[in-house]
Amino acid sequence: MDRPQSWQARADAWSLYGFTDLPSVHRRGAVVLTHGEGPYVVDVDGNRYLDANSGLWNMVAGFDHKGLAEAAKAQYDRFPGYHALFGRMSDQTVMLSEKLVEVSPFDRGKVFYTNSGSEANDTMVKMLWFLHASEGNPQRRKILTRSNAYHGVTAVSASMTGKPYNSAFGLPLPGFIHLTCPHYWGFGEAGESEEQFTQRLARELEDTILREGADTIAGFFGEPVMGAGGVIPPSSGYFQAVLPILRRHAIPMIADEVICGFGRTGNTWGCQTYGFMPDAIISSKNLTAGLFPMGAVILGPDLADRVQAAAEKFEEFPHGFTASGHPVGCAIALKAIDVVMNEGLAENVRRLAPRMEAGLRAIMQRCTHIGELRGVGFMWALEAVQDRASKTPFDGALSVSERIANACTDVGLICRPLGQSIVLCPPFILTEAQMDEMLDKLEQGLVRVF
């Protein structure tokens, strides 16, 4: 095999990039990383980047947290591999399920493990189908989600995802219904107040349920704050308007907390930040602070009882992954929850979120091409526009957000281009000085483009 010389050429030659703007990466070369230091990552050429992307929202304790690595090593030494299947599970899995129910907003519940957020959403859909069929309602199969939602990449979770690129795969599958994205700035109509917008979306939900038939709908999935859709907090009162409608029609509400969970919005769960109680929670990413691929479905009391009853009736819940509840993942998750909740990381998000918001607002005042700043906690997006008043987007082959992200990379900051917006979701360990460095580098990147 002829091996090209540079790391970048080798990356290009042998790896297929996912979710990557290929013209950019071909022109610039991939950033090939060797290690991390706190919130920084370092590439093969020794360049150091402040990662305001936290890897992919997940490396909340930074890239070299000793306690997490030690928890992993201790478990690898003790009992490296097993699963939560066939009536066996590791002690770590037992302890993690207890901990997850304890820190969940539910007073009771049950946990099922997967290897990723996509699989956790997929699993939840299968659980709902299994449950409804066992209760004599096999026709309850339709899933309600929102446009711009991101729930993953498996065929089912991609069908729940409301992004146009999935049409490249002929998705969504039939029966996945996308309601309007609750983004007032983006989808509010002229003259419509935010409250009226929320009410319109609530009516759309009710009309959809009546049109489709409540007895054909399996469940509703929503991220408390849409993450990969471009950091979109719900319009005011959104969940308070939507929940009663779902309850009235006995449709389970699933909060996809893969990004929001464990502190990102300033509280343990995004549903706490937005004041609503779901029927189940989907968790991943922060669950292991990014050190192990793991997802979890956390069922609240009603669904826990009903899914358990369905499983008893069938004498089995016929679903599970080889590495479900992997002991090393569980040991890391136990430590990660402790680190985030008890070692001041969640507290740091609460303390520094106002500094992040104020810094971004100041940048927005200086940069007329920022049309909207939106976010909460440690997840924010700046939407780029040609003209703020008319909200006219930029055009051009290379999206403006891609150009900004590339310019930021050049000054040592990793941030994420999503549609027309630039997303910042730093690790929770950021110090004040690192927060200021992030804001300063972002502005340097913006100045290079505008």
Q: Which residues bind ligand PLP (CB under 6 A)?
A: 116-118, 121, 150-152, 223, 227-228, 256, 258-259, 284
Q: Take residue 118 and report the two structure tokens written for it.
A: 């996509």
Query: What is the nearest approach in angstroms of ligand PLP to the Cβ of residue 223?
Result: 5
Nearer to ligand PLP, 223 or 279 (CB): 223
CB-based contact 353:378 (threshold 8 Å): yes
Q: What is the DSSP letter of 127?
A: H
- What's the full length of the chain, in residues? 450
Query: What is the nearest approach in angstroms of ligand PLP to the Cβ of residue 157?
Result: 6
Distance CA 117, CA 121 (A): 6
Residues 6+ apart with CB under 8 A from 395: none
Q: Take residue 65 and report the two structure tokens written for it.
A: 């947290």
CB-based contact 222:149 (threshold 8 Å): yes
Strands 110-114 and 217-222 come out as unpaired
Nearer to ligand PLP, 117 or 278 (CB): 117
CB-based contact 263:336 (threshold 8 Å): no
Query: What is the nearest approach in angstroms of ligand PLP to the Cβ of residue 259?
Result: 4
Nearer to ligand PLP, 330 or 439 (CB): 330
CB-based contact 333:413 (threshold 8 Å): no
Query: What is the nearest approach in angstroms of ligand PLP to the Cβ of residue 48?
Result: 25
Nearer to ligand PLP, 97 or 118 (CB): 118
Query: What is the nearest approach in angstroms of ligand PLP to the Cβ of residue 203?
Result: 26
Nearer to ligand PLP, 8 or 116 (CB): 116
Query: What is the nearest approach in angstroms of ligand PLP to the Cβ of residue 252?
Result: 17
Query: What is the nearest approach in angstroms of ligand PLP to the Cβ of residue 388?
Result: 28
Query: What is the nearest approach in angstroms of ligand PLP to the Cβ of residue 113?
Result: 13
Give the strands of the sheet with 421-424, arranged side by side. 370-376, 379-384, 421-424, 416-418
Query: What is the nearest approach in angstroms of ligand PLP to the Cβ of residue 133?
Result: 25
- Taking CA 267 as the corner, what is the angle to CA 329 and CA 440, rounded to the nearest 5 degrees? 90
Distance CA 262, CA 270 (A): 8
Q: Find, among 285, 177, 188, the residue nearest to 228 by Cα.
A: 285
Nearer to ligand PLP, 242 or 364 (CB): 242
Query: What is the nearest approach in angstroms of ligand PLP to the Cβ of residue 152?
Result: 4
Nearer to ligand PLP, 380 or 439 (CB): 380
Distance CA 393, CA 409 (A): 23
For 189, 263, 311, 372, the CA distances from 192, given in Å and listed in that order, are 5, 33, 47, 18
Q: Take residue 313 and report the two structure tokens written for it.
A: 């009736």
Nearer to ligand PLP, 68 or 149 (CB): 149
Nearer to ligand PLP, 121 or 406 (CB): 121
Q: What are phi and psi of 433, to 5 degrees?
A: -65, -40
Nearer to ligand PLP, 176 or 306 (CB): 176
Q: Name the residue number minimizing CB distance to ligand PLP.
A: 117
Q: Find, among 106, 102, 84, the residue nearest to 327 by Cα.
A: 84
Query: What is the nearest approach in angstroms of ligand PLP to the Cβ of residue 226?
Result: 8
Nearer to ligand PLP, 121 or 420 (CB): 121
First vs last C-alpha separation in the chain: 45
Q: Where are the alpha helices (DSSP H) in 15-89?
A: 22-28, 54-57, 66-78
